[in-house]
Amino acid sequence: MTHKKVNNQIKIIYFLIAFLAVGLLNATSWAATTINATNKYAYGANIGWINSQGDISNGLVITPSFCTGFLWSANSGWINMGNTPTNGNDYSNTSANDFGVNVFLQGFTAKLQGYPWSPLGWMNWGMNYTDSNDVPCVDLNTGIMSGSVWIPNAGWMSVSNLEAYVQTDSILLIDNDADGIPDFYEYQDQGNFTNLASGQDFDSDGVLDEDEALAGTSSSSSNDFLRITQY
């Protein structure tokens, strides 16, 4: 038996495959940090150790499309990774009310890029780096982070080194409207969070919206669904 994905316009399936490797956590509101309790420290030569788990309830949270929460530095205070994107999916990083770190998938790697705020000024997470190896990333097979971050007035901070590394235990799938379909899929497929719903078949192709989200096919195209093509 073989299966064929008719249309490759949406690549959500790669998100889901990758996230299954490190575990899934569904939520309808913000939750405690996703960062591992042991592997939580980043290090900067001029700023010292930085705790990515924060105080647990307010630590770093990684979702499929953006980050939220805080890092804690004993030498500089709280570092704000972002709150809620204005559009609900990703930060524009063009205003003081819509800033933070976005998540971009490339294969089984999630790149973390954006401008969080620290008491030392705006931090640069992977934006316009000349060396792509320095961009902060998460290995979706292990949850382990790599790369470096530029901090104004403090220089480079490494999220992975010989002494310690930052690791996420899960990727938080947010479902604020509690319809059984992750928000990031709804936004990427429809551009809003209202068109799709559990038990509904938006494109009338015989596959429910929640099943298309799980399969990584598009709920807006009747030609894009998983089917048996040969038996």
CA distance 177 to 210: 13
| pLDDT surpassing 60 at residue 10 | no
Quick one: pLDDT at residue 14? 44
In the structure, what pLDDT confidence band is assigned to residue 30 with cuts at 50, 70 and 90? low
Q: State the pTM of this model.
A: 0.81
Percent share of the chain, pLDDT over 70: 87
Quick one: pLDDT at residue 23? 56
pLDDT higher at 129 or 107: 129
Least confident span in 89-93, 142-146, 182-186: 182-186
| pLDDT surpassing 50 at residue 12 | no
| pLDDT surpassing 90 at residue 228 | no
